[in-house]
Amino acid sequence: MRIGELAKRAEMKTDTVRYYEKAGLLPPPPRRHNGYRDYGTLHLERLAFIRHCRALDMSLADISRLLEFVTHPDVKCDAIDRLIDGQLIQVQARIASLRTLESQLLALRDQCHDQKTAGECGILQELVAAAHDEGCVCHPASIGGTDTDDHASIPEDGHD
């Protein structure tokens, strides 16, 4: 099976397949006389596994760790459990932070009372107010406590 068919069957791009090989997730297949990669069903299964894990939003590093368990089924499995748990904690933290964000955006949107120009727009006024540290609808100034304080920092989305 050439890379095109493999990619089609695994429902991904040939570029992605080659990328996985370079990243060490997919073992390099034998080559034909012309240099073309020659895949078998094992490769397809492995790709399906990777794809499924990616659908669970796992990082390639985590998937790589899982693949080691697949090829070494005799080691203890509690690390697998911890990996999934860690994943779960990340996802739940992300949901919580996005919910905060949602309420902030909703509050912001409510500030626009169909003004006509940007100069009168409540949303923009709120955003500019934030620059003066006066507290805004979405990030109220912490008068009574500091609990919303750190939420005002930039969400750490860097490495999803």
Footprint of its own copies on this chain (CB under 8 A)?
Answer: 11, 45-46, 48-49, 51-57, 66, 69-70, 72-77, 80-81, 84-85, 87-88, 91-92, 94-95, 98-99, 101-102, 104-106, 108-109, 112, 115-121, 123-124, 127-128, 130-133, 136, 138-139, 151-155, 157, 160
Tokens describing residue 160: 């999803």
Burial of 43 (C-beta count, 10 Å sphere; 0-12/13-18/19+)? buried
Residue 16 DSSP symbol:
H
Of 97, 99, 113, 103, nearest to 140 by C-alpha is 103
Minimum CB separation of residue 40 from DNA in Å reads 14
98 makes contact, choosing from DNA, its own copies, none, with CB < 5 to 8 Å by partner type, with: its own copies
134 makes contact, choosing from its own copies, DNA, none, with CB < 5 to 8 Å by partner type, with: none
Instruction: Write down the residue that tokens 């034909």 correspond to.
Output: 32
Nearer to its own copies by Cβ, of 115 and 142: the residue is 115
Give the Cα separation of 126 and 8 in Å (integer).
49
Minimum CB separation of residue 21 from its own copies in Å reads 17
Q: How big is the chain, counted in residues?
A: 160
144 makes contact, choosing from its own copies, DNA, none, with CB < 5 to 8 Å by partner type, with: none
Distances 124 to 5, 120, 131, 146, 154 between C-alpha atoms, Å:
52, 8, 11, 25, 19
Instruction: Write down the residue that tokens 């009168």 correspond to.
Output: 120
Give the Cα separation of 128 and 51 in Å (integer).
44
Nearer to its own copies by Cβ, of 31 and 40: the residue is 40
46 binds DNA per the rule CB under 7 A: no
**Interacting residues toward DNA by CB under 7 A:** 2-5, 12-16, 18-20, 32-37, 54, 59-61, 154, 158-159
